[in-house]
Structure 1
Amino acid sequence: MSNTLQARIAGPEDFPRLIAMVRDFYVEDEILYQSGLVEPGLRSLLENASHGAVLLLSSEDVTEAGYITLGWCFSVEQGGRFVLLDELYLTPAVRGRGWGRQALALARDWAAGEGAAVIRLEVNHHNARAKRLYLAAGYRDDERDILTLPLTSAGRGLHP
């Protein structure tokens, strides 16, 4: 059994397998799944490289280990364009192999290769295990809260 995680950039043809994992992730991480927001957002990311990328994760013996969504953002404080590691999901069957650290390294390598100087991410307060992983990988807690103002009726249900 291989212990090395691999990634490839997903394309529009990967939407059906990705959206199934996205749904699983949202249930597990207690994120409200709104198909009218999530599905067009994912399709846009898969179809337009200027928005970022989705990395499909696998190994020699596991074809669907998970995924990472990476999106471009802009911040004066961060020096311009930076990457938001929007979602990182490993299927339950592959957890405990050290692949979370490997997935973060793959995201870092993609972002650095695309010219980003910074990666930022969000972690839900209830997900202490994920936060420990991110801190161990060198991410820092900026001791800030993320606040959201939905500007459309579709976006008003972002958080339960």
Structure 2
Amino acid sequence: MGGDVVVRAASVDDVAEVARLFAAYLVFYECPREPAEVTAYLTARLANGESVVLLAEVEGTAVGFAQCYPTWASLELAPAWVLYDLFVDPSARGRGVGRTLLRAVADRARAAGATTAVLETAHTNTTAQALYESEGWVLDTTYRTYALTL
């Protein structure tokens, strides 16, 4: 696998390929789910226009994805994107797939009128952190993120 990385918007027709990658992403974060659950979740997000899924392909094979949720930045009174999921198949890592996906997210968010994009990653995921920072993403030192399990 040595071709160029092509990124395109996924549609409901791509759910099987995205679900395969998404399932591996969930295993990476130690949150495995049944394939039917993963497929149903992605189908609903795409069919309802609730997320933007970008699919990275090399020589026609899906090797990575990014899932973003368009939202609003209240302090900026403008659209914003949340990059919630990004995953590259281990067999394709080190080939620029993640970097290409990050750039595609930024380009599409700008084109959609967003003034900011945000993401979170695990404190221990230093490889991803280095990539994000090399692409101009800045660690937020002003705000803390809190979560409430419901």
Q: Does the TM-score normalized on the shorter chain lie above 0.5?
A: yes
Percent of residue pairs identical = 27
Give the Cα separation in 2 of the matches to 1:117 and 1:54. 19
Q: 1:48 to 1:58 in 2, by over 3 A?
A: same
CA deviations on 1:43-85 (whole Å, 9 max, x unpaired) are: 2321123x231011113x2511111101112231243320001
Give the Cα separation in 2 of the matches to 1:110 and 1:8. 10
Give the Cα separation in 1 of the matches to 2:32 and 2:20. 12
Which SS does the other structure have where 1:18 is aligned?
Answer: helix
Give the Cα separation in 1 of the matches to 2:33 and 2:119. 21
Q: Is the 8 A contact 1:111 1:119 kept in 2?
A: yes
Which SS does the other structure have where 1:25 is aligned?
Answer: helix
CA deviations on 1:7-59 (whole Å, 9 max, x unpaired) are: 121112222221221111121233x245597555422321123x231011113
Letter in 1 for 2:129: K
Letter in 1 for 2:111: G
Residue 140 of structure 1: how far off its partner (Å): 0.6
CA deviations on 1:104-150 (whole Å, 9 max, x unpaired) are: 11111111111111110011111111011101110111134322223
Q: Which residue of 1 aligns with 2:14?
A: 14
Which structure 1 segments of 5+ residues have no match? 152-160
Q: Is the 8 A contact 2:79 2:114 kept in 1?
A: yes
Q: After the TM superposition, which residues 1-160 of structure 1 pair with which residues of structure 2 at under 5 Å, given as runs? A: 1-2=2-3, 4-30=4-30, 32-34=31-33, 39-49=39-49, 51-59=50-58, 61-143=59-141, 144-151=143-150
Give the Cα separation in 1 of the matches to 2:76 and 2:133. 19
Give the Cα separation in 2 of the matches to 1:16 and 1:99. 20
Which SS does the other structure have where 2:62 is aligned?
Answer: coil
Which SS does the other structure have where 2:61 is aligned?
Answer: coil
Aligned alpha-carbon RMSD (Å): 2.1
Which structure 2 segments of 5+ residues have no match? none
Give the Cα separation in 1 of the matches to 2:38 and 2:80. 22
Q: Is the 8 A contact 2:64 2:97 kept in 1?
A: no
Number of positions where the alignment pairs a residue of Structure 1 with one of Structure 2: 147
More strand by share: 2
Letter in 2 for 1:84: V
